[in-house]
Structure 1
């Protein structure tokens, strides 16, 4: 498909994003034959590799934005942020729905219909036999944050093999062999471990780890490589490589507190992808140590950092804006660039493809913000969303799918 070059197709009309991030509301997946999009309106749309639409599965009732999507042996599974927090499975060839599970049955109904309070399927991954799903619901009571969350193993027919329940906030999963790793980005309750590794078959705990820092922030992402676990720590803004028992192999500062123009600022490491070639960590927005607003910028905000297997830094590359997630394939990853909500720099909209060992492979500019991206077999696919910043009288970009040939 190297002849494709760069192509895009409209996905319809949605309300534009604003200056502040509202979280994921789209998802995209590349399979051997398809490009599958989960839309902000709750539809699943399949395109062939020439971007001709194959089928469209309309949203369920009640429905929400589709924010994560995965494939296994002729099946597509999509997860919602919406009133039901549904996990939906479709026939990959026809779009016929095979099963549906409402995580709100376990998590409870939203406190209000506010987007951040809706049940949220944070991640779906597969080991080739089963799906693993992390879902959560958030509410505020007397000013305190509270979470209820469940991690599931679903068999191919939609039956639940096991559940792992906590009062913390799961943000991502990774599965390798007989291990399932869970990253918890907030732990305000009794569950005080930012990382949990389960036996993928039984759901039994095999390892727990935490950065040991004060406050609710713990782990932003996790990646399994060999017998090791690589962790992006929200607690102390470092990247860790742990052995199978949780022992520290290496630790690298990523966006640790730093004085800039007399103000102390930091940024959270939100994503990580690791293979035998090394690891890449991706950081997010600048925050001040005091308050929420700042005019200065951390030098490592919105930055991808390439780390060698021994824990030393290989390279660093700006990714322009906040990345709501990353797409991975072997030793490469694609990073979508959404809003830089402090600077609102429209020149930074787009996505970039990175190699774990060598850094930047390709950067693609877009008019709107990019909210989701994936790559496979020499292709990168990304979802552009329109954006209307509060201090501009214009709308930038459209809701569309971009496909880039990497040669």
Structure 2
């Protein structure tokens, strides 16, 4: 199903370590052009089927920042960064020329420390008609106390902000459909207790909110529209949901809630969801335990893709390691697999191609960790990052872009 392996170096990057770290790269594909955002603040466009393959390189925000989110719509590439200004920019897909740029630090504040984790972070971007939707946040920690400042922006074609939705919570993902934007918040506070909000794309007005109603600050890991319904990966109770447009529950399915394995009670967070050909596909993450940070037991559904139809799990597939996101097109779903920090083996580094209707199609191994994936038409792209496990002392892989041809599916 997957053929070839076109590669290009993305330069130098310090190896990731045993535990998965923050996003440092992004990928997008449109009409055979592959876009890669890197750890040096640059974005590059490639045509793997042409010579020379590189079309252009741009630095929309400058150095000392990471490109962490990309979205393509028509002739516009939207670029989100993590860095001192938290820039979001719109570029021409043909030339890389910048059309506009906005500093989300104006809304979420500037970093109060030198740590990258404290800098403004554009976690997700999407284009809906003539509106670019941006979710950005900034994190602070003072001793045991943690706080988040965040904003969702609606930006017009000239780069002017039409509307803002602010929250003292941590947005993690968004999706758009039929004039609405759904925003998932993975950490909430007493000031914002809604794990999911739905806003009007044109005005930013609140249409609906929803929450799993669980204790603690963990709420929603990801969200995806399914026509008029909304699929939700709940961190609060480790379940998957399908909600109607009013927030009513169509179905709820246990994905990786607490189980007793041996003498430990363990669980795993459902971190991602996408919808493909009418099926909701969820992916879970690492095993955690109630009593320890490093359990011996493994949840039977850790690092697992699960396809759900009408509230029933149709199939599952072991993806081996932590996935930072999903990519989908038609019935196909790509899952990039990074570290399994408890097992610490390069054997899990891969990208998995799934068909929402038929289970697993193909797996392509990657020497380093697959940190970002994009899928469009017959092109699958993955950004690989080097990794060095703390108890091994060997660097696996390199910082590079991969592209494959995809046959079948859809």
Coarse TM-score class (shorter-chain normalised) = over 0.9
Aligned counterpart, 2:23: 24
Deviations for 1:115-160, whole angstroms, at most 9, x for unmatched residues?
A: 2211110000112322111000000134211000000111111111
Q: Distance in 2 between matches of 1:7 and 1:339?
A: 23
TM-score (norm 2): 0.96
In 1, Cα distance between the equivalents of 2:227 and 2:201?
15
Taking a change above 3 Å as real, the CA distance of residues 160 and 265 of structure 1, as seen in their structure-2 partners, is: same
Residue 5 of structure 1 and its aligned partner are, at CA, apart by: 2.2
What secondary structure does 1:150 align onto? strand
Q: Write the deviation string for residues 345-394 of structure 1: whole angstroms up to 9, x where unpaired.
A: 21000111111121112211011001000111122100110001111121
Count of paired positions: 405
| Aligned positions of 1:189-268 closer than 5 A | 189-268=190-269
Native 8 Å contact 1:362 1:406 kept in 2: no
Whole-angstrom distance in 1 between the partners of 2:191 and 2:71: 31
* Residue 135 (structure 1) aligned with residue 136 (structure 2): yes
Residues 41 and 59 in structure 1, CA contact (< 8 A), matched pair in contact too: no
Following superposition, the deviation at residue 275 of structure 1 comes to 4.3
Closer/same/farther in 2, CA of residues 77 and 371 from structure 1, 3 Å limit: same
In structure 2, the CA distance between the partners of 1:10 and 1:192, relative to structure 1 (3 Å rule), is same
How far apart, CA to CA, are the structure 2 residues paired with 1:338 and 1:131? Answer: 29
Report the alpha carbon displacement of residue 4 of structure 1 after superposing the two structures with TM.
Answer: 6.4
Give the secondary structure class of the aligned counterpart of 2:395.
Answer: coil
Provide the C-alpha distance between the structure 2 equivalents of 1:320 and 1:405, rounded to a whole number of angstroms.
23
* Contact 2:45-2:57 within 8 A present in 1 as well: yes
Take 2:60 and 2:389, find their aligned partners in 1: how far apart are those partners? 28
Report if the CA contact (8 A) 2:80-2:89 is conserved. yes
The residue number in structure 2 matching 1:178 is 179
Distance 1:75 1:63, change over 3 A: farther
Residue 36 of structure 2 aligns to a residue whose secondary structure is: strand
Moved more, 6-15 or 296-305: 6-15
State the partner residue of 1:329.
Answer: 329
Name 2:362's counterpart in structure 1: 362
| Equivalent in the alignment of 1:340 | 340
How much has 1:63 moved relative to structure 2? 3.9
For residues 271 and 130 of structure 1, what CA distance do their matches in structure 2 show? 24
Cα separation, 1, equivalents of 2:213 and 2:334: 31
Please give the per-residue CA displacement for 1:316-369, whole angstroms capped at 9, x wherever unaligned. 001111111111222222111111111112100011111112111221101100
Cα distance in 2, alignment partners of residues 289 and 6 from structure 1 = 42
Write the distance in 1 (CA, Å) between the matches of 2:397 and 2:169.
36
**Structure 1 residues 219-251: Cα deviation after superposition (integer angstroms, max 9, x where no partner):** 000111122111000000000011111111111
Secondary structure of 1:5's partner?
Answer: strand
Does 1:75 pair with 2:79? no
Take 2:401 and 2:24, find their aligned partners in 1: how far apart are those partners? 14
Q: Matched residue of 1:287: which SS?
A: strand
Task: Please list, as runs of the form range in 1=range in 2, the aligned pairs for 1:356-395 lying within 5 A after superposition.
Answer: 356-395=356-395
Query: 1:352 corresponds to which residue?
Result: 352
1:73 positional shift: 2.6
Answer whether contact 1:146 1:189 (CA < 8 A) is retained.
Answer: no
Taking the aligned partners of 2:217 and 2:279, their CA distance within structure 1 comes to: 29
TM-score by length of 1: 0.97
- TM-superposed deviation, 1:272: 0.5
- Summarize the alignment of residues 115-154 of structure 1 with structure 2, pairs less than 5 Å apart: 115-154=116-155
**Does the 8 Å contact 1:225/1:276 carry over to 2?**
no
Question: Residues 63 and 72 (structure 1 numbering): CA distance in 2 closer, same or farther, change over 3 Å?
Answer: farther
Q: Provide the aligned C-alpha RMSD in A.
A: 1.5
Who is 1:57 aligned against?
A: 58
Greater mean deviation of Cα atoms: 319-328 or 299-308: 319-328
User: Does the CA contact (< 8 Å) of 2:119 and 2:138 recur in 1?
Assistant: yes
Give the match for residue 41 of structure 2. 42
Contact 1:63 1:80 in 2 (8 A): no
Structure 1 stretches (4+) deviating beyond 6 angstroms?
none
Tell me if structure 2 keeps the 8 A contact 1:187–1:216: yes
